[in-house]
Amino acid sequence: MTRARIIGVGSYAPKRILTNADLEKMVETTDAWIVQRSGVRERRIADESEATSDLAVKAAQQALERANLVPEDIEFIAVGTTTPDMLFPSVGNIVQHRLGCRRVGSVDLLAACAGSIYSLSFGSQLIETGKYRRVLCIGAETLSRITDWTDRGTCVLLADAAGAAVLEAYDGDRGIIDFDLYSDGQYWDLLYMPGGGSRHPATPETVAARMHYAKMKGSEVFKVAVRMFVDCAERILKRNGVTADDVSLFIPHQANLRIIEAAAKRVGLPMERVFVNVDRYGNTGAASVFVALEEALVAGRVKRGDLVLVAAFGGGFAWGACLIRW
Ligand code: UT7
C-alpha cells in the first residue's frame, strides 16, 4: 500500500537564548526550581521582527533541501500552530507564498501542542488516499507572544521554534504506518487563551485583564498529560501488534521532563530510548516534536528500519501519536 514517508526534516530556533538565570531577574523563581520541576535550562525567544511564519519558512527550506526538492514539488502544506502571524490568512498561506510553491493548498491546524501530530496525520492521509504525492508538514510557534511574563507558572516553560517534515508517497512498508488522534473538550479551562477570539474580542478591558495570554493550571495539566501520553502510546502499539520493546526511539512532545519520564515509565520505555531536548528548548508547542525529530536524525539516533513512536498532547485537550517505520 502507499504510505507517506518522511524524506526531509528541518528545524529553526530563534537566535536569542533566554536562560533560567535571566528568568530569575524577571519573576520570583530559581534555576533550581525550574530544572527540578520541568527540566528546562534555557529556551529560544523570537526577536521583535520575527513572527511564526518567519520561523516556519526557515524550517521548511531546510526540510526541502534535505529532501532534495524544490518548492514547486510540494502539493499541499499543513501547518500546526496556535500562534499564527494573525488570525487570518493562515501561516500555511504565508509560507506557501514565501517559499514560492505554486498550485498548492494550505491550511493551519489548531490543536495546540498536538499540532505536530495532527499535521503529520493529516499530511499522511492526503498521500495515502492517492490525492497528493508530496506534502509539507510544519509545526511552528511563537509562544512567547502569548506568554504572560509576570506569570511564573507559564513563562518558565513556553518558547519559540519551528520544524518541518516533507512527506512523499512510497509503495512499501516504510513511512507513517499508523496514527491516532484524540480530543476531549472537558479540559478546555486547564490550558487556554481567553482573549482575541469571538467570545472575547480585543478591547482595552480584555487587554487590561491580561486575557491575551495563555492561562494554565499546571499541576492539573500534568496529571492529564501523563494519562494521555500513555493512553495513545499503548493503543497505537497494541493495534499494530508491537510492544514498547519494538520501539527504537520515542519522541514525545517536549513539555516537561517529569511528564516525559512518567509516561515513558508507564509505557515501558527506558529513557535511553526516549529523545529529550526540553532542557534546551522548553515547550515549543506544535514545533517540539519536529524539532526533536530533526535533532534525533542529525545525532544518528534514527536509522533505516527503526520503529519510531511520536506523541504529543496540548490544550483543548488534543492529543495523539504516530507510529513510523523509518
Ligand atoms: O504542552 C502542554 C503544556 N503544559 C504542560 O505540559 C505543563 C504541565 N505542568 C507542568 O509542567 C508543571 O505543573 C509545572 C512545571 C508548571 C509546575 O510544577 P508543579 O510541580 O506541578 O508545581 P505546582 O504548580 O504544584 O506548584 C508548586 C509550587 C507552588 O507554590 P505553593 O503553592 O506550593 O506555595 C507554585 O506557586 O511552586 C510554585 N511555583 C513556582 N515556584 C518557583 C510555580 N511556578 C514557579 C516557578 N518558580 N516558576
| Distance (Å) from CA 1 to ligand 1 centroid | 46
- CATH 3.40.47.10 placement within the chain: 2-173, 177-276+287-325
Report how far residue 33's alpha carbon sits from residue 15's, in angstroms, rounded to the nearest whole number.
Answer: 25
Find how far residue 257's CA is from the centre of its chain. Answer: 15
Q: Which residues pair with 216 in a beta bridge?
A: 191
Going by alpha carbons, the residue nearest to atom 38 of ligand 1 is 153
Q: Is-catalytic flag, 137?
A: no
Determine which residue's CA is closest to atom 12 belonging to ligand 1: 218
Active site residue 283: yes
CA–centroid distance, 150 to ligand 1, in Å, is: 14
Report CA-CA distances (Å) from 168 to 21, 127, 137, 204: 43, 7, 11, 47
Note the pTM of the prediction, 2 decimals: 0.97
What DSSP element (H or E) covers 142? strand 134-142
Q: For ligand 1, what atom is nearest to the CA of residue 216?
A: 4
Adjacent-strand bridge partners of 203: none
| Coil vs helix vs strand at 313 | strand
Q: Any idea what the Cα angle at residue 10 is, between residues 112 and 301, rounded to 5°?
A: 95
How long, in residues, is the chain?
326
Q: Which CATH number fits domain 2-173: 3.40.50.720, 3.40.50.11540, 3.40.50.450, 3.40.47.10?
A: 3.40.47.10
**DSSP-derived secondary structure letter, 245:** G
- pLDDT tens, N- to C-terminus, the chain (326 residues): 899 999 999 999 999 999 999 999 999 999 999 999 999 999 999 999 999 999 999 999 999 999 999 999 999 999 999 999 999 999 999 999 999 998 899 999 999 999 999 999 999 999 999 999 999 999 999 999 999 999 999 999 999 999 999 999 999 999 999 999 999 999 999 999 999 999 999 999 999 999 999 999 999 999 999 999 999 999 999 999 999 999 999 999 999 999 999 999 999 999 999 999 999 999 999 999 999 999 999 999 999 999 999 999 999 999 999 999 99
Give yes or no: 253 in active site: yes
Annotated active-site residue in 137, 253, 277, 322 = 253
Class of domain 177-276+287-325 (CATH, top level): alpha beta
